[in-house]
Amino acid sequence: MTQLWIQLLSDRDPKFTSKLLTNLHRFFGTKLSFSTEYHPQTDGLSERMIQALEEMIRIFCAYRLEFNDSDGFPHDWCTLIPASKLAYKSSVHSYTGQTPAMLETG
């Protein structure tokens, strides 16, 4: 089996601290680390990305934008997540002057 990740950093939400998830991490040999309570800066990179994705999806839903796939079937908002993630990761950020994809992969 290929290991997907070595360590996972999450907040202290009960869904991440459950016995089931703790046992899954033990089974897969991954380390589960928790951020400091009430300190979102600990995991700022992912927090910012989640915020940007939520904003993109909110705009989509607010304007009730509808689109169809190549077969003419309507898409749900959740199908926008991969495209929104790509848009975010390929956008140059003013603070770093780089795209998140470039900073992650080099």
The count of domains in the chain is 2
Residues 53 and 101 in one domain: yes
- What gap in Å lies between CA 42 and CA 34, rounded to an integer? 9
Do 25 and 69 share a structural domain?
no
Residues 95 and 66 reside in one and the same domain = yes
| Pairwise CA distance, residues 100 & 106, whole Å | 10
Whether 53 and 70 map to the same domain: the answer is: yes
pLDDT value of position 1: 47
Residue 8 β-bridge partners: 32
Q: Which helix H or strand E contains 32, and what residues bound it?
A: strand 31-34
pLDDT-derived band of residue 87, with 50, 70 and 90 as boundaries? confident
- pLDDT score recorded for residue 6: 77
Q: What is the pLDDT of residues 23-82, one digit of tens each?
A: 888 888 888 888 777 776 766 777 777 888 888 878 877 766 666 666 766 666 777 778
Q: Say if pTM beats, i.e. exceeds, 0.85.
A: no
For 25, the domain range is 7-34
Q: How many helices (H) and strands (E) does the chain have?
A: 5, 2
What's the CA gap between 69 and 20, in Å, rounded? Answer: 37
**47 and 27 share one domain:** no
Q: Which of 75-79, 86-90, 97-101 shows the lowest per-residue confidence on average (mean pLDDT)?
A: 75-79
